[in-house]
Structure 1
Amino acid sequence: MLSRIASLPYVRRLRILRVRRVAGMSSRSQRGAVSILAAVWVSVAVITMAAIDIGHFYYVRRDLQRIADLAAAAGVQTIGSAGSCAAAMNSAQLNATNANGLSSNGSIQSTCGRWDPSANAAPSYFVAGNTPLNALQVVVSQPVSFLFLVGQTRTLTATATAQATNIRSFSLSTSVASLSGGMINGLLNALLNTSLNLDVASYQGLATAQIKLLDLATALGVSSMNDLLNAQVTVAQLAKAMATVLGQGNIVSANVTSALNTIASVSTGTTTIHLGNTSSQTGGLLAVGLGDPQAAATATVNALDVLMAAAEIANGTSAINLGAALNLSPIASVTAQAQVIQPPVIAVGEAGTYPDGSYRTSAHSAVVRLYLNVALLNLSIPLVATINALNLPIYVEVGQGNAYLQTTQCSTQLASSYSWISTTPGVAALCIGGDAASNMTNATVPTSCNQPAQITSVSLPLLGLGLANVSVQSASGGGLNLSVQPPSATVFKFNGVQGDSDDYQTTNSNGLGSAVGGLLTQLASGLSGTIHVTVLGLDVTGVATPLVNGLVTLLTPVLQSLDALLIPLLQLLGVQIGVATVHDLGLACGQAQLVN
């Protein structure tokens, strides 16, 4: 063959050799292509198997996350119950294994703690064991076998944190039973510069009307609780928003929404009020004791409490003329002015204390100054004297009373869900003196009347005396000064049912005796020892006993009647004199939400 090729012409030989070389190269290329193709298919198979395993792990991981989420949400709902952490952990365990099918080789670990974005570090905001407990962290683990690696496993985990807070709202305010339509009309007219004339049924309806904060936010056109707390509105806008909320679904009678619409229409003031106390603003209507204000969405507030507090905040520290609300005609004429130094606050939040010992959620009553001048005209003390006019100047200053949310405990029934609120009335100072009115502008020294209060001058010919000056004074000769120190704290227990007998609870003891009798009534009971009669500078009280007794007889019913009006009126202002009435506004139990 080679000899034959060699005998061929050169060009022909070259062509034959080239063809053979190409044929050899093609054979070798085919063998290489098969190897490459095999490697590609093996790689594809490995990748496919890996992808199937990854998909399998992803599916199992998602299922574990579902189990962890549901277990955390179920468990945290009982963290505020009597069983607290143990109950929450047990509930999470049962939910994972029984309700959501955690496999027998899986495990669940639950940790109780506190979730608080305002106090704990990001990103979890969760600290195990911190109190008050409000969160449950659940870690679910399960070993999962590889589908294509026999005998090989990988442990997958999923973590979920759920938060649930028992939220109570409450205020220090007057009870429904003590409401008087004329009294509230007079007070609101003085605060808002209006001419309201609503009936007592309307106000009693407002006193029993509850409004969810989320609904109020919607009516005001804000999208979150943070926006609600930062909102500034006029009294008219607030009244209109409450009317909108209460008008939905026939929650209350038509006269209640009509009353709010009337208040909105006649309240022409442009002063805006802050709805919440926040880190950047104080003096707001609501004090929300929650790390996450959004949790307050389901909390409720009372329409009348909100309205009264808003009117006071809008009025500022301007003097309030209370004369129309303290009408004692025909037995006496009363001039009354009040000044709200600090308005009351409605509390919404959770129980417990901060690390520094201060309570997370507290309501407080107003700090108020009050000046009264009680005038009696054309008096007669038989067989003793006729008195043309008598004036008794009285100054009262009431410090802040407080109510603190100590503990909450929730169960499946509202009747067996409870909260405990500790309450202390404010300190009250009262004085009678010629300089009583000057205390209204006193901002530097403690309340005090230093001058005797000359209440009348009268001729006493039947007692053998001339013109006598009658004054109320202390034993030392100055003004009469009294104080009411608060008793030790009283703890009230409220259930979760709204509209029952425990919605209002009152502690009524004080340093002057039972507050049922009233502060001024207690003053009246001690008047006989403070009335002094002088003639030409000489004290003749001893021989003017019939006059003193007659004046006490005249003043006692006046002061008692004034008490009957003044105490509930001041309570409407949020003032608690030797008495603390806590108005429970509702308990929202265990509103669970996943936070991580």
Structure 2
Amino acid sequence: MLQRRTTSLVAAAKRFTAGATPANAVRVTMQTKTPLFFGKVLTGDPYINLRVSSVASTTQLATFAIGSRLASLNGGLLNQLLGQMLGTSLSLSAMDYQALADAKVNLFDFMSALATRANLTGVSYDSLLQSNLKVTDIIAALQASGATGAASSALSNVGSSLAGVTTKVTLGDLIDAGPYGDMLVGQQPKVGVDLDALDLLSATAQLANGTHQIATSLNLGLPGIAAVSLQVTVGERPVGSSWITIGQAGASVHTAQTRILATVQLIGSGSVAAVNLPIYVEVAAGTATLNNVSCGYPDIASSTAQLGVSPGIVDAWIGGVTSADMTNFTTKPNPPAATIVDLGAIKVTGRAHVTMANTAPTNVNFSYADIQAQTRKTVNTTSFTSSLTGSLLGDLSLSVQLGPLALPIPGLGPQVVSIISGATGSIDTLLNTVLQTLGVGLGQADVWVAGIRCDGAVLVN
């Protein structure tokens, strides 16, 4: 009898529903009579009924991940951010990064190559992932496990740039091998786990950097922006979580908590030569949880998977956030107003605050075709706005000071607002590009399912 089996806190006797679809378990029952010889003297019955029952359940697994993919690849920005996180200087072109984004690497082939580089033999995948591994070995293993052509050349370039770098990381903070963790390195499970080389490179760079602050200046050539000073701090993922996992319903993956402080110098007009706008953005850890895998039988092409996705809560300010605020992940900043215009005796200060959040996860369905193509789907927060800067501008409170006095100066406040408003699109592009380079979205999360397995079976009762 085909049934549906549910593993939860429900009583064992109620975990099986006969005839439910889609089916993931089968119950076999046998009954017979056997004759009694001496026992019939006690029972008065020459026979006894014997009944046995057993249940087998399929193993329904999915490989899935969470992150954010850049709409366009800016080689200069990637070189600055990834280079600082890796402790070196990178000189890859946008085409190099595109080649890495296009290169597919099998996760288990990569881990096998990594074990060889690290001289680890006879170990399980879990043991490998919990080892302290050199970043240089990780880059070499990426190159050896499927990256070819331009992607291989780009990884060679990265490897050469890392000469002398001795940083080590624990990849278990990124990768969860799930039920295959106990398998010996070199054994191949029957589940698809392909990754983009750029995704793995970027995630490794974040691990290598730890929670150290990155500071750099940017020039993306955006209209209305004269210069940008950027500070970035990436926190740790929730304990016991990962970026990609293989698991059954209930398994989850997370992005890392990320903070950026962009001090944007805007090109002024009239009596206001420049506006210095400090914008702080914090994106909390986003989460994707596997709700279910539905295995098509007998047509595997009808299989589906569903994720419950919660993008990271966004907390954004215009205000005087300090470097100390950036690295203190135990509390959220609540900054004072910042001086955004300084005309000597006349100063303009401003402060604004907005948030984006989800009240509940959004369910995202993946067809078998989506899974085969590793289609990335984007989930927005319920309070998502296409322009974070526009939202901040709507909450902006300005104060004009003449010497020690706070005096209204006709026309100055609206002039400052007009300058900021004219650069809103450029500031949004800047913030989105930086955050996506760090693997997180602004009020958004990209999720994808890289493979499913439906052919495993186990005796459960």
TM-score band, normalised by shorter chain: 0.7 to 0.9
Of 71, 74, 91, 1:177 maps to 71
Of 157, 174, 199, 1:285 maps to 174
Asked whether 1:427 is paired with 2:293, we answer no
Percent identity for Structure 1 against Structure 2: 28
Letter in 1 for 2:315: A
Q: Please name the residue that 2:433 is paired with.
A: 568
Where do 5+ consecutive residues of structure 2 fail to align?
Answer: 18-22, 34-50, 116-120
Mapping of residues 43-58 of structure 1, within 5 Å: none
Whether contact under 8 Å (1:113, 1:135) holds in the other structure is no
Q: Please name the residue that 1:588 is paired with.
A: 452
Q: Distance in 1 between matches of 2:62 and 2:162?
A: 31
TM-score, length basis structure 2: 0.78
Distance verdict in 2 for CA 1:578–1:435, change over 3 Å = closer
Q: Please name the residue that 1:463 is paired with.
A: none
Per-residue deviation, 1:446: 3.1
Where do 5+ consecutive residues of structure 1 fail to align?
Answer: 1-84, 89-111, 120-126, 144-156, 248-252, 277-283, 353-359, 460-466, 474-479
Distance verdict in 2 for CA 1:230–1:434, change over 3 Å = closer
Per-residue deviation, 1:162: 7.0
Of 367, 370, 375, 2:260 maps to 370
Letter in 1 for 2:429: A
TM-score, length basis structure 1: 0.61
Secondary structure at the aligned position of 2:419 is classed as: helix
Of 498, 520, 523, 2:389 maps to 520
Secondary structure at the aligned position of 1:592 is classed as: strand
Q: Distance in 1 between matches of 2:320 and 2:403?
A: 19
Q: Distance in 1 between matches of 2:26 and 2:159?
A: 45
Letter in 2 for 1:315: N
Whether contact under 8 Å (1:429, 1:447) holds in the other structure is no
Q: Please name the residue that 1:233 is paired with.
A: 133
Mapping of residues 308-319 of structure 1, within 5 Å: 308-319=202-213
Whether contact under 8 Å (1:169, 1:346) holds in the other structure is no
Deviations 1:547-583 (A, max 9, x none): 222222222343421321322321332333321221x
Q: Distance in 1 between matches of 2:16 and 2:213?
A: 44
Structure with more contact order per residue of length (Cα contacts < 8 Å, sep ≥ 6): 2
RMSD: 3.9
Structure with greater helix percent: 1
Q: Distance in 2 between matches of 1:320 and 1:427?
A: 22
Whether contact under 8 Å (1:225, 1:297) holds in the other structure is no
Asked whether 1:273 is paired with 2:169, we answer yes
Distance verdict in 2 for CA 1:258–1:160, change over 3 Å = farther
Secondary structure at the aligned position of 2:229 is classed as: strand
Q: Distance in 1 between matches of 2:151 and 2:169?
A: 23
Q: Distance in 1 between matches of 2:191 and 2:233?
A: 34
Q: Distance in 2 between matches of 1:232 and 1:240?
A: 16
Q: Please name the residue that 2:275 is paired with.
A: 390
Deviations 1:299-356 (A, max 9, x none): 414232222111111111111124347665883211111111115832323332xxxx
Q: Which has the larger radius of gyration?
A: 1
Structure with greater strand percent: 2
Q: Please name the residue that 1:75 is paired with.
A: none
Deviations 1:221-252 (A, max 9, x none): 355433443343222212221221214xxxxx
Asked whether 1:454 is paired with 2:339, we answer yes
Per-residue deviation, 1:526: 4.2
Q: Distance in 2 between matches of 1:288 and 1:590?
A: 17
Whether contact under 8 Å (2:177, 2:246) holds in the other structure is yes
Secondary structure at the aligned position of 1:317 is classed as: coil
Secondary structure at the aligned position of 2:150 is classed as: helix
Deviations 1:80-119 (A, max 9, x none): xxxxx8179xxxxxxxxxxxxxxxxxxxxxxx687xxxx9
Letter in 2 for 1:394: I
Secondary structure at the aligned position of 1:395 is classed as: strand
Q: Distance in 2 between matches of 1:301 and 1:566?
A: 29
Mapping of residues 86-485 of structure 1, within 5 Å: 86=2, 164-175=58-69, 177-221=71-115, 224-247=124-147, 254-268=149-163, 269-276=165-172, 284-290=173-179, 294=183, 298-303=191-196, 304-324=198-218, 328=222, 331-343=225-237, 345-352=242-249, 360-376=250-266, 379-381=268-270, 385-387=271-273, 389-411=274-296, 415-449=301-335, 451-458=336-343, 467-473=345-351, 480-485=352-357
Per-residue deviation, 1:297: 6.1
Letter in 2 for 1:371: L
Per-residue deviation, 1:402: 0.8
Q: Please name the residue that 2:442 is paired with.
A: 577
Q: Distance in 2 between matches of 1:142 and 1:201?
A: 71
Whether contact under 8 Å (1:486, 1:578) holds in the other structure is no
Distance verdict in 2 for CA 1:421–1:134, change over 3 Å = same
Distance verdict in 2 for CA 1:443–1:386, change over 3 Å = closer
Secondary structure at the aligned position of 2:281 is classed as: strand
Q: Distance in 2 between matches of 1:254 and 1:87?
A: 49
Deviations 1:54-96 (A, max 9, x none): xxxxxxxxxxxxxxxxxxxxxxxxxxxxxxx8179xxxxxxxx
Deviations 1:122-167 (A, max 9, x none): xxxxx88769997768789999xxxxxxxxxxxxx99999775333
Secondary structure at the aligned position of 1:298 is classed as: coil
Secondary structure at the aligned position of 1:589 is classed as: strand
